[in-house]
Structure 1
Amino acid sequence: MHQLSSLDAQLLDAETSTTFTHVGALSVLGPATPGRGLAAPDLRALVGSRLHLVGPLRWRLQEVPLGLDLPYWVDSESLDLGYHVREATLPGPGTDEQLAEQIARLAARPLNRNKPLWECWLVHGLTGGRQAIYTKVHPAVIDGLTAAQALAVLMDTSPRPRVVPHRFSDEQYQAAGVLGMVGKSVWHLGTLPAQLLWSSLEMAPHLPELAGTSTVPGAGMLTRRLARFAPRWLPREPSPAAPTPPETPFNGPVTGNRRFAFTSLPLGEVEAVGAALGFTVDDVVTALCTTVLRRWLIDHDALPGTALAAAMPVSVRTETGPFATARTRLSLVPVALPTDDDDPARRLQRVHTSLTAAPRRLRSAPATLVRDFSSALPQAVRGLISRTPLRALTTPTPPVNLVVSHAVGPARPVYAAGAEVTGNFPVSAVTDHAGITIAAMSYDRHLDVGVLACRELVPDVWDVTVHLHEALAELTACTRNVRHLRPRRPPR
């Protein structure tokens, strides 16, 4: 058996009846030879022949009695590929908009926690004889930044599927006995007082930086007193100020309804802008998202006077305190998106500055400290808090306007059961009060972008994809002013 990490459990606890944390990808397949399209049995056979390469896709949850401790992953005795690999057919004419509507409906459905937390859908009926594969998986199973890698395991670099030796991975976990789980839970409960004390002392110097604590009576005095007892090697200087999210039309209680849109940008143009102006591809992609959001807010007469606050997923190796173990985990870093600036040159420069400060903010981010503090709470208590107004103490997402991500995908075309993947669009997740997310992934020689939103908060999600092309044209035009846009070196 293998116990979930505290972050994995928090990702599960963060789900509600209207928000789910699973992530996915929409892979559009090129036109098939007439009468020889990909069939669901073929896809199931492909997945079944490769499933042993991805151990986590066989895991299911096993809860600890009475919620005394974090759940465990155990291997499923049998895997029903008829359930996990399904198919759907679009009505005519099978446009991209209809495909996006179908993906939005599938993304709005929760994963069944009684089964391994993933699904794969084969979609028929697209125009031009195309098909699509939509996969979704819970980030507690596979880190959001490695989900694309897991997807690539099920694909090939040539039209002829490779033969994979059938050898089970070493990550096989048997179901845990009740007595064994309870005994381990009792030991964990015995260490909780020391873990809570350590986490409290670690968080104390950063208490004023936590959202909302400035309005709590006595918070400043409590911070000063607790900080006296904090070990000397803990950082006492405040971390770089995280952006404060302003009010926008897409921030508010979300419903369970979704809208999805997708588009592709030429990766060569994105790289050319970065090379000409001295910025990274991450800088350019984030600046494109900033311009898109600015234009959308202007269209809705709702542009705030300050920068937006976005959360950006990064994968880091952490080791905090005597009770933590070194491991790679997904963290969300708050970055500022300067939608308040009307000059694309300054927006790009400010984006670069914000992304440069992100590593420092990550090392001492208050949101991370709160998450570490909540990990010391008993599972039953943490689950109870996650269903109350105090759920911000256990959520893995810091207070932000939206989530923006950029990942690097395959540099060459890949194939699924012989069909070429012509586009690989990420499908991320919205959070409780952040009703839109923009995710980009480089694939082959284009940048594939997926935009998922709450239908009621952002009904015109396709406008966002149109603005993306306009934003890239604007930055391309800015390359004439190379000297003006060179990034400033941070002071030593």
Structure 2
Amino acid sequence: MQQLSAMDASFVYLETPHTPMHIGSVAIYDPSTAPGGFVRFKDILAFIEARLRGARSFRQRLVRVPFDLDHPYWIEDPEFDLEFHVRHIALPRPGDWRQLCIQAARLHSRPMDLTKPLWEFTVIEGLDNIAGLPPGCFALVCKVHHAAIDGMSGVEMSAAVHSISADVAPPPGDDPWEAENMPHVADLLARSYFNSLVQPMRVMETIGRSLPGMGRLAAQVGKGDVSLRSTRPAPRTRFNGKVGAHRVWDAVSFPLREIRAMKEAVPDATVNDVVLSIVGGGLRRYLQAKGELPKETLTAMAPISIRQEGEKAAMGNLVSAMTVGLGTQIKDALERLRFVHDEAANSKAMTNAVGAKTLSDYSQLMPSALAGLGARLYTRLGAANAHAPAYNCVVTNVPGSRVPLYFCGARMVGMYGSGPVFDGMGLINPVYSYGDTIAISFTSDRDMMPDPQAYAEALRESYEALRAAVERSAAPSAGARRAEAGRRRRAAGPKGADAAIPAA
């Protein structure tokens, strides 16, 4: 048995019929590279079964403590059934992108069975009419509960069922997995009692570790090196109320080399800054078209991985977060990128001063029973509609593979993300990079965003506007270099002249 951390357990407590707390992905594959040029469902089952040992999350289920007196535990599921977790459906003709988006949103809106290992794979066939993809492709819609993984450990889980070649041979060696018996109630209650005895020491230890960081932050604020502007409440938008039971999903892809070129327009800017500014431009266009654009900047919560090198395969969430202004109040795309870069740099400085891991440790301080009760009351009372939001949306960047990946011999041709929305935060933008592309996906509540195609188009327009702005900013520099070269030639005089004097 392994107990969940307070952060992992919080995703269990936040789970309601309207707010399923799982993350996921939508991957598209070309089966022409598989043995025989096609992939059967039974081949997929055998392929996954041979690789279950690659990630512990595949066969571990939750055991909750009575009355949530303590955080739940993971055990090796004695009733594990692979065919419960891997499903198979097909799109009706013509099998286009919009049909795939609707089906992915429908699958994502359904809560998972918390009495089973917390993951589901759905194979979707019939992708025959998607631009840029060969007919006959299939998709794999993955759902994994956020209590089990974060974005980075999700990459490790994905790696368990992918390879860098079309070879479908099972990995060598035996599977050492063994099931566990369900623990007795008396054992769980005894564990919760002893954990409650050491809780005061954990509180004092966490506070003690945070005091030096708080001192550093106060000193930096006093000197003006760090601003506390990112701690102010965000403006209220249509995405910051109580969510319903239905979801929308879509994604747009861009060339990664273009995104990298854009960051060169602002000194020290990063790819993440460019992505945040594109999202900011997309939200500006979307809300402006509805007459709902706030005068203040919208803000995004951006998770920060604190996973160390030796913790890549560890279950659960090892993350902190920072809040970044998206520059939605700025019309000029390049000026928005500069604003986002400054906001991100300031937020990183605040996080570094206190310590990202120390901030995440504060989640351990709330008693489990109060955490669960508070989450349920927050949802039932609709409290999200009664206060200013801490942030307007989430933008999470997950780095992917630079080389082609294969699933059951089929080559991956596209990779996109999905994520949970909940009361007070009805829009999440997972960002996945794969090969030479980077994709901005989004999941939202269907009542908050009834027209996901409009937001997808707004993201494309934001990207094009930033690219054009970067090109315009580079044009004067190129013109200045040409003018300088002409001045040098004129100063040198005619070619071969004896009196030619090189220009300084």
Q: TM-score range by the shorter chain?
A: 0.7 to 0.9
1:143 aligned onto 2:150: yes
Secondary structure at the aligned position of 1:387 is classed as helix
1:447 to 418, 438, 446: 438
Q: Contact between 1:21 and 1:139, CA under 8 Å: does it hold in 2?
A: yes
Where structure 2 has 5 or more consecutive residues not aligned to the other structure, the ranges are 129-134, 222-226, 309-315, 478-504
**What's the counterpart of residue 347 of structure 2?**
358
Q: How many residues align?
A: 446
1:481 aligned onto 2:473: yes
Deviation of the 1:152 alpha carbon:
2.3
Residue-by-residue CA offset, 1:334-381 (whole Å, 9 max, x unaligned): 111110011112110111111112223335789998975553343222
1:64-463 correspondence runs (5 A): 64-127=65-128, 128-168=135-175, 175-195=182-202, 235=215, 237=218, 240-241=228-229, 242-278=231-267, 279-316=269-306, 329-363=318-352, 372=361, 375-389=364-378, 399-463=390-454
**What's the counterpart of residue 464 of structure 1?**
455
Residue-by-residue CA offset, 1:299-341 (whole Å, 9 max, x unaligned): 11111000112111111269xxxxxxxx971223211111001
Report the identity percentage.
31
Residue-by-residue CA offset, 1:225-262 (whole Å, 9 max, x unaligned): xxxxxx67753727833242112122211101011112
Supply the AA of the counterpart residue of 1:240.
Answer: L
Deviation of the 1:78 alpha carbon:
3.9
Secondary structure at the aligned position of 2:197 is classed as helix
Cα–Cα, structure 1 residues 365 and 458, in superposed 2: closer, same or farther, change >3 Å?
A: farther
Cα–Cα, structure 1 residues 389 and 31, in superposed 2: closer, same or farther, change >3 Å?
A: closer
CA–CA distance in structure 1, aligned partners of residues 439 and 425 of structure 2: 22
Which range is displaced more, 102-111 or 400-409?
Answer: 400-409
Residue-by-residue CA offset, 1:76-114 (whole Å, 9 max, x unaligned): 124211110001111111111001100001000111111
Supply the AA of the counterpart residue of 1:12.
Answer: V
Cα–Cα, structure 1 residues 438 and 484, in superposed 2: closer, same or farther, change >3 Å?
A: farther
1:27 aligned onto 2:27: yes
Where structure 1 has 5 or more consecutive residues not aligned to the other structure, the ranges are 204-230, 319-326, 486-492
Q: Contact between 1:403 and 1:430, CA under 8 Å: does it hold in 2?
A: no
Cα–Cα, structure 1 residues 461 and 151, in superposed 2: closer, same or farther, change >3 Å?
A: same
Supply the AA of the counterpart residue of 1:413.
Answer: P
**What's the counterpart of residue 9 of structure 1?**
9
CA–CA distance in structure 2, aligned partners of residues 371 and 16 of structure 1: 24
Secondary structure at the aligned position of 1:448 is classed as strand
CA–CA distance in structure 2, aligned partners of residues 418 and 468 of structure 1: 33
Secondary structure at the aligned position of 1:145 is classed as helix
CA–CA distance in structure 2, aligned partners of residues 408 and 106 of structure 1: 24
CA–CA distance in structure 2, aligned partners of residues 316 and 19 of structure 1: 26
Q: Contact between 1:429 and 1:437, CA under 8 Å: does it hold in 2?
A: yes
CA–CA distance in structure 2, aligned partners of residues 43 and 407 of structure 1: 25
Cα–Cα, structure 1 residues 484 and 120, in superposed 2: closer, same or farther, change >3 Å?
A: farther
Secondary structure at the aligned position of 1:56 is classed as helix
Deviation of the 1:476 alpha carbon:
1.7
CA–CA distance in structure 1, aligned partners of residues 476 and 151 of structure 2: 36
Q: TM-score scaled by structure 2?
A: 0.81
Supply the AA of the counterpart residue of 1:40.
Answer: F
Cα–Cα, structure 1 residues 233 and 444, in superposed 2: closer, same or farther, change >3 Å?
A: closer
Secondary structure at the aligned position of 2:376 is classed as coil
Deviation of the 1:412 alpha carbon:
1.5
Q: Contact between 1:148 and 1:409, CA under 8 Å: does it hold in 2?
A: yes
Residue-by-residue CA offset, 1:390-414 (whole Å, 9 max, x unaligned): 9999xxxx82111111221010111
CA–CA distance in structure 2, aligned partners of residues 167 and 31 of structure 1: 28
Deviation of the 1:470 alpha carbon:
2.0
Residue-by-residue CA offset, 1:429-474 (whole Å, 9 max, x unaligned): 2121222111111101111221111111111112222222222222
Which range is displaced more, 414-423 or 231-240?
Answer: 231-240
Cα–Cα, structure 1 residues 76 and 178, in superposed 2: closer, same or farther, change >3 Å?
A: same
Supply the AA of the counterpart residue of 2:20.
Answer: F
Secondary structure at the aligned position of 1:441 is classed as strand
Secondary structure at the aligned position of 1:345 is classed as helix
Q: Contact between 1:54 and 1:169, CA under 8 Å: does it hold in 2?
A: no
CA–CA distance in structure 2, aligned partners of residues 360 and 246 of structure 1: 23
Cα–Cα, structure 1 residues 173 and 340, in superposed 2: closer, same or farther, change >3 Å?
A: farther
The root-mean-square deviation of aligned C-alpha atoms, in Å, is 3.1
Supply the AA of the counterpart residue of 2:301.
Answer: A
Deviation of the 1:118 alpha carbon:
0.2
**Could you say which structure has the larger radius of gyration?**
2
Q: TM-score scaled by structure 1?
A: 0.82
